[in-house]
Amino acid sequence: MSLFKLAKRSLGFYWRTNLGVLLAVMVSAAVLIGALVVGDSVRYSLKSMVKARLGQTQLALIPQNRFFTDELAGKLSKKLDTTVAPVLQLRGLIANSDGSKRQNRIEVLGVDDRFYKIGTAENPMLESQNQAVALNESLAEKLGVNVGDEVVLRLEKPSLMPRDVPLTPDSDLTLAFRLVVEAIADESDFGSFSLKANQVTSLNAFVRLKWLQQQIDRSSQVNMLLLADNASQDITVEKANEAIKECWQLADADLELRSLKKNGMFEIRSRRVFIDESITSAEVDTVNSSFGVLTYFVNEISSPDKAAPYSMVTAVDTSAGAGGFIPEVLKDDEAGILAEVARITSQKPLLALAGNQKQLGSFTIHQPRALVEVRESGSNLEDVLRELLESDGETTELQCSRPLEASVSRFPLSVIMIF
C-alpha cells in the first residue's frame, strides 16, 4: 500500500476527528484575523480622534487660575521656530434665543488665526463681526440652532482671588451676551478641540480673541498656549521650558515694577494681592536689600475706647533695606497712623478697585480726623498729599465737603484744614 492511499484511508476512517480539528483551525484563524482588523480600526479611530482634538499640537502651557500676555506666544514662536497659538479659555453656559434649550459648563474659547493654523483648518469667523460665535456640531445639535440664529452666552468673570475669599464681591460674577451663530464647526474645522483625556466630545463655543479680552477686562492676556510640532526639530518639554525662561517677563506673572523716586526704591506689586513665595525668595536672593510689604484687609482696629471697622493694614519687614520706607522712630510694637476716620465707603466693590486702579471712582470719608506731626520742613500730612497728587505724573483731584479736624502732636494748637 502506498503512502498516499494510507493517508487517504486514515482521513476517511478518522473523519470526525479531522473535521473537528479543521473547524477549530478555521475559527482560530477567523478570531486572529478579526482581532488584527479591529485593532487596526481602533488604532486608526484613536489617531483620528487625537488629530481632530489636537491638530498639530505638540505641547500646551496651561497655568492654573493665571493669565499671561499674548505677546509670549510670538516670542516663543520665534525662539522655537514653530506656530504658537494664544487661547483664552473660560467656562460658561449657553442657551438658544428663547431659552427653551440650555447647556451648562461649556468651553468658551477666544482664538485667532494661529489657533486654526495648528488645527490645519480655516478660520470660520474671518469676516465676522465681534458679536458672533462659532459652535461645534455637538453643541449646535444640543441647542437646535443653525447658522444665523441668535444665542445667549453667559461667562464666568475671571477673578483675581478665589470666590471664597471674604474680599471677593458677590455681584457682577457673570457676563451675558447675545451673539449670532456665524458658523457650525465640525471636526475638519477644529471644532472638536479638547485637551481632556476622555472620549466625551467637548461642547465648544469659539469667539474672537480680542473681543473676549475686552469683555472680561483682560487686554492682551490669555491663559493657554498651544505649541505646534516642528518637522525640522523635536520640541521637547525641556526645550520649551528653556525658551519660556528666556522669554518670560514680569507682566507674564501678573507683576508690575514701579519706581518709588521719593524713597529711592523699586517696588514689585501684583494684581493677585499675594505674590508667590517662589518669586519673593528669588527676589530676596538676588537683591540683599529687598524686603517684603504686606497690605491686607482686617475686620477692625480698636483701642480701649474707639474702634475702626474694615480697615487696610500694611506690615513692613524690619530689615536693613526698609529703613527708608518706614520712620526710624517706629518700633516693632507701634503703628504709623496719619488719620482716624469713622468709616470709608467706596462707590465700587473692593475687588473692582484692585482690578482697575486707574478708575477708582469716588470715596466717602466719614468723620475724618488727621494726626499731624509738624517739623521745620513741613508735616507728615503734607508729605502724603504731595506724593498722592504727584504720583505717576498724574493729577488727582481731592474734594472735601466739610472741614478736616486735625490734632497736631508736640504743638499746643488746633488746626482746621480744608482741601
| Percent of the chain residues past pLDDT 70, beyond the cut | 73
277-291, 361-375, 403-417: range with lowest mean pLDDT: 403-417
Residues 35 and 64 in one domain: no
Per-residue pLDDT for 106 more than 90?
Answer: yes
Quick one: pLDDT band at residue 135, thresholds 50, 70, 90?
very high
Residues 172 and 297 in one domain: no
Pairing of strands 204-208, 102-111: parallel
What's 13's DSSP letter?
Answer: H
Query: What is the pLDDT averaged over residues 187-205?
Result: 87
Burial of 302-312, coded b for 16+ CB within 10 Å and e otherwise, reads eeeeeebeeee
Residues 136 and 27 in one domain: no
The reported pLDDT for the residue numbered 299 is 77
Question: Among candidates 225, 240, 267, 216, which has minimal Cα distance to 92?
Answer: 216
Residues 305 and 347 in one domain: yes
Domain extent at residue 97: 55-249
Residue-by-residue DSSP string for 320-362 = GGGGGTS-TT--TT-----EE-SEEEESS-HHHHHH-TT----
Residues 220 and 276 in one domain: no
Residues 266 and 397 in one domain: yes
Quick one: pLDDT band at residue 410, thresholds 50, 70, 90?
very low
The reported pLDDT for the residue numbered 330 is 53
Residues 234 and 262 in one domain: no
The reported pLDDT for the residue numbered 405 is 47
Q: At what angle do helices 15-54 and 3-13 cross, to 10 degrees?
A: 80
Mean pLDDT rounded to a whole number for the chain: 77
Q: Alpha carbon of 250 to those of 31, 67, 105, 253: distances in Å?
A: 61, 12, 32, 5
Question: For residue 266, what is its C-alpha cell?
Answer: 523699586
Residues 228 and 130 in one domain: yes
Per-residue pLDDT for 229 more than 90?
Answer: no
Residues 25 and 121 in one domain: no
4-8, 28-32, 275-279, 334-338: range with lowest mean pLDDT: 334-338
Residue with the bigger pLDDT between 391 and 82: it is: 82
Residues 271 and 242 in one domain: no
The reported pLDDT for the residue numbered 391 is 52
- Distance CA(370)–CA(418), nearest Å, equals 12
Residue-wise pLDDT for 352-383, tens only, equals: 666 666 666 777 777 776 666 666 666 766 76
Question: For residue 153, what is its C-alpha cell?
Answer: 452666552
- Distance CA(417)–CA(405), nearest Å, equals 7
The reported pLDDT for the residue numbered 18 is 81
The reported pLDDT for the residue numbered 167 is 55
Quick one: pLDDT band at residue 230, thresholds 50, 70, 90?
confident
Sign of the Cα torsion 326, 328, 332, 336 reads negative
Q: At what angle do helices 237-247 and 71-80 cross, to 10 degrees?
A: 130
What is the chain's Cα-based Rg?
A: 34
Contact predicate 80/73, CB 8 Å: no
Residue-wise pLDDT for 244-270, tens only, equals: 989 988 888 888 888 877 777 788 888
Among residues 231, 249, 267, the one where a domain terminates is 249
Strands of 213-327 (E only): list them.
Answer: 221-222, 224-228, 255-260, 265-270, 293-302, 307-316
Q: How many CA atoms lie within 13 A of 103 on its CB side?
A: 22
Per-residue pLDDT for 350 more than 70?
Answer: no
Residues 216 and 311 in one domain: no
The reported pLDDT for the residue numbered 419 is 31
The reported pLDDT for the residue numbered 407 is 45
- Distance CA(322)–CA(319), nearest Å, equals 6
Among residues 216, 249, 282, the one where a domain terminates is 249
The reported pLDDT for the residue numbered 96 is 92
Residue-wise pLDDT for 49-60, tens only, equals: 788 888 888 899
Q: How many domains does the chain contain in total?
A: 3
The reported pLDDT for the residue numbered 301 is 76
Residue-wise pLDDT for 139-190, tens only, equals: 999 999 999 899 999 998 777 665 555 555 555 678 899 999 999 998 888 8
Among residues 249, 274, 299, the one where a domain terminates is 249
Q: Alpha carbon of 403 to those of 6, 344, 366: distances in Å?
A: 128, 16, 11
Per-residue pLDDT for 323 more than 70?
Answer: no
Residues 224 and 313 in one domain: no
For 172, the 3-state DSSP assignment is coil
Residue with the bigger pLDDT between 161 and 112: it is: 112
